[in-house]
């Protein structure tokens, strides 16, 4: 259950705010609709019971009237009433009960029948019984021998029953006046369409609610979009700045809410401080390069004047090590801060040249073309991958390069066949000046900056460098770049 909820939960802020607002509105509408429907049903129930009692009292009066008439006069009175335009009921006499095809069961209709039956029983306690039903006009049988309502003259029913244009259900009451003589009465309820008033989900009721919900949702989406659009611009600008594309970054517009305007100003100030810091760092290292080389050279010259050969050799070793550290630090800064424009890079061409160069030098490198293209700084990426390949060949005798694509990522794996690295040392292997015992034995002159430079370049491209030991031996250097 939690896994499905996690998959349905959007990743973007726009999606989350939209989902929360839509769900909140829907839940509110459903709750309000349920309360309103409950109140509407209760109100309809009260109104229908009152109308049913009114119809029942009228029917009881009609039954008393016709029961008081001699049988020979009843049809004559009915004919006169029809010629006068009818009364509250359509009335007829039959020799037996006429079966009625009832409407589909409905709670309000059943409530009306129960109320009318109880009221008639109360008003006419000595009557033998009553047969009640609701029927549709086009299926209503009004007399023996299957005489239907549609077969009667229009003048008999046009003022009593509603047939056109929108038929309403008709209440039929039948009771036996005396043996073999049944009184048939049909009438509309005071509100002929009372069955519709109790339906809270009728189309004419749902349409205004649906329209209001759509308008509110549209306004909410517009508000959410106006809130998240500046955040999306901020995210894109921060990502471009983090990948070193400062020249492509446009200043954030200081528009929108007060909070975003303050954020845009703070981000612009931070960007300027970072730019000044990088410029100061470059000037600092250039100054260090210029200032340190002169005293180091003077110290080397003065060490030549020392008479003690052992002391002179120690001085020279210390000065050589200092000179190498300065050159290594400068090289690290230069390699990690290459100023070039991003472009589409065909990895087959880039890696193919490096593989051929290594093979011409007599080294073993395995690589299968992949047809994969990435976007980045060609020279910087070449230097990062070159460092990884050089390390693999230097410390592992031979290298295997594999390129593949995953959803959203391009993976470049460089594996060597060396002794591998202790697990506890993997986390610090790319730190500057960190060299393991195996590396010191193979290369006395190195400073341990190659992996650090590679990691810095890969991270500047929005990727990451992952180091791990291969199950069959050797070290895996996995470069994961954005697709």
Domain residues of the chain, as ranges?
13-197, 240-337, 341-482
Give the residue among 214, 86, 198, 92 at the shortest CA–CA distance from 143: 92
pLDDT band at residue 132 under the 50/70/90 scheme: very high
Q: What is the pLDDT of residues 297-319, one digit of tens each?
A: 777 777 777 777 777 777 777 77
User: What is the 3-class SS of 407-423, one letter each residue?
Assistant: CCEEEEEEEECCCCCCH
CA distance 239 to 375: 14
Lowest mean pLDDT among 9-13, 53-57, 243-247, 274-278: 243-247
CATH code assigned to 341-482: 3.30.565.10
Do the beta carbons of residue 69 and residue 93 sit within 8 Å?
Answer: no
Position 434 scores a pLDDT of 58
CA distance 428 to 446: 17
CA distance 108 to 114: 10
Sequence-separated (6 or more) residues with CB below 8 Å from residue 457: 335, 336, 338, 377, 380, 381, 383, 384
Q: Is the dihedral of CA 299, 301, 307, 311 positive or negative?
A: positive
Residue 421 φ then ψ, to 5°: -135, 140
Cα–chain center distance at 308: 79
Position 160 scores a pLDDT of 63
Q: What is the pLDDT of residues 192-247, one digit of tens each?
A: 777 776 555 666 666 777 787 788 778 877 877 777 777 777 777 777 666 655 55
353 to 154, 287, 392, 405: CA distances (angstroms): 100, 36, 17, 21
Do the beta carbons of residue 224 and residue 17 sit within 8 Å?
Answer: yes
Between 357 and 309, the higher pLDDT residue = 357
Do the beta carbons of residue 173 and residue 131 sit within 8 Å?
Answer: yes
CA distance 391 to 477: 10
Is residue 180 predicted with pLDDT exceeding 80?
Answer: yes
pLDDT band at residue 263 under the 50/70/90 scheme: confident
Is residue 417 predicted with pLDDT exceeding 80?
Answer: yes
Give 478's strand partners.
Answer: 413, 466
Give 367's strand partners.
Answer: 401
Mean pLDDT of 288-300: 71
Is residue 79 predicted with pLDDT exceeding 70?
Answer: yes
Q: Kindly state the percentage of the chain with pLDDT values over 70.
A: 79
Cα–chain center distance at 449: 45
Is residue 335 predicted with pLDDT exceeding 60?
Answer: no
CA distance 318 to 147: 125
Q: What is the pLDDT of residues 438-481, one digit of tens each?
A: 554 555 544 456 777 788 788 878 888 888 888 888 888 888 88
Give 400's strand partners.
Answer: 366, 415
* Domain 240-337, CATH number (from 3.40.50, 1.10.287, 2.60.120, 1.10.3470): 1.10.287
Arithmetic mean of pLDDT over the chain: 78
CA distance 337 to 280: 13
- Residue ranges in 69-163 assigned as alpha helix (H): 71-83, 107-123, 154-157
Give the residue among 93, 185, 181 at the shortest CA–CA distance from 143: 93
Q: What is the pLDDT of residues 106-128, one digit of tens each?
A: 888 898 899 999 999 999 888 88
Sequence-separated (6 or more) residues with CB below 8 Å from residue 335: 380, 383, 453, 456, 457
Is residue 374 predicted with pLDDT exceeding 80?
Answer: yes
Lowest mean pLDDT among 35-44, 327-336, 383-392: 327-336
Q: Kindly state the percentage of the chain with pLDDT values over 90.
A: 4
Position 118 scores a pLDDT of 92
CB burial of residue 95 (10 Å; 0-12, 13-18, 19+): exposed
For residue 165, cis peptide bond before it (omega within 30 degrees of 0): yes
Position 445 scores a pLDDT of 47
Mean pLDDT of 391-403: 84
Is residue 296 predicted with pLDDT exceeding 50?
Answer: yes
Is residue 104 predicted with pLDDT exceeding 60?
Answer: yes
> Could you tell me the maximum CA-CA distance found in the chain, to the nearest angstrom?
159
The DSSP line for 218-285 is HHHHHHHHHHHHHHHHHHHHHHHHHTT-GGGPPPPP--SSHHHHHHHHHHHHHHHHHHHHHHHHHHHH
């Amino acid at each position: 259950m939690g896994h499905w909820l996690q998959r349905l939960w959007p990743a973007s802020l726009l999606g989350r705010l939209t989902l929360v607002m839509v769900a909140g509105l829907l839940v509110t509408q459903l709750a309000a609709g349920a309360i309103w429907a409950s109140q509407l049903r209760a109100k309809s129930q009260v109104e229908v019971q009152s109308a049913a009692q009114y119809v029942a009292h009228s029917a009881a009066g009609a039954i008393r009237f016709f029961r008081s008439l001699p049988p020979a006069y009843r049809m004559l009175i009915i004919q006169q009433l029809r010629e006068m335009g009818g009364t509250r009921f359509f009335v007829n006499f039959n020799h037996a009960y006429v079966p009625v095809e009832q409407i589909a069961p409905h709670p309000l209709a059943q409530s009306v029948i129960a109320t009318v039956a109880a009221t008639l029983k109360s008003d006419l306690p000595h009557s033998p019984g009553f047969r009640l039903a609701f029927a549709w006009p086009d299926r209503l049988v009004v007399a023996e021998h299957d005489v239907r309502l549609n077969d009667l003259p229009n003048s008999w029913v046009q003022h009593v029953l509603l047939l056109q244009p929108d038929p309403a259900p008709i209440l039929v009451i039948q009771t036996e006046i005396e043996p073999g003589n049944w009184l048939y009465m049909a009438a509309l309820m005071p509100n002929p369409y009372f069955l519709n008033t109790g339906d809270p989900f009728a189309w004419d009721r749902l349409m205004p609610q649906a329209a209001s919900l759509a308008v509110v949702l549209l306004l909410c989406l517009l508000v959410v979009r106006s809130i998240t659009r500046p955040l999306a611009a901020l995210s894109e600008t921060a990502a471009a700045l983090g990948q070193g594309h400062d020249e492509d970054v446009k200043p954030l517009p200081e528009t929108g809410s007060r909070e975003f305007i303050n954020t845009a100003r703070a981000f612009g100030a931070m960007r300027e401080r970072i730019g000044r810091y990088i410029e100061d760092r470059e000037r600092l290292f250039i100054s260090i390069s210029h200032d340190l080389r002169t005293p180091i050279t003077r110290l080397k010259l003065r060490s030549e004047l020392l008479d003690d050969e052992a002391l002179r050799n120690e001085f020279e070793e210390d000065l050589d090590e200092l000179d190498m550290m300065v050159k290594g630090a400068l090289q690290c800064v230069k390699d990690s801060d290459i100023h070039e424009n991003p472009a589409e890079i065909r990895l087959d061409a880039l890696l193919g040249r490096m593989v051929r160069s290594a093979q011409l030098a007599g080294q073993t490198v395995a690589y299968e073309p992949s047809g994969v293209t990435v976007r980045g700084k060609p020279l910087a990426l070449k230097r990062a991958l070159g460092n990884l390949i050089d390390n693999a060949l230097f410390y592992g005798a031979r290298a295997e390069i594999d390129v593949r694509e995953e959803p959203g990522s391009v993976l470049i794996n460089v594996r060597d066949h060396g002794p591998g690295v202790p697990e506890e040392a993997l986390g610090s292997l790319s730190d500057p000046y960190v060299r393991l015992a195996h590396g010191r034995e193979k290369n006395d002159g190195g400073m341990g900056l190659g992996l650090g430079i590679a990691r810095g370049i890969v991270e500047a491209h929005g990727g990451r460098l992952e180091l791990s030991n291969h199950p069959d031996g050797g070290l895996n250097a996995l470069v994961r770049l954005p697709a």
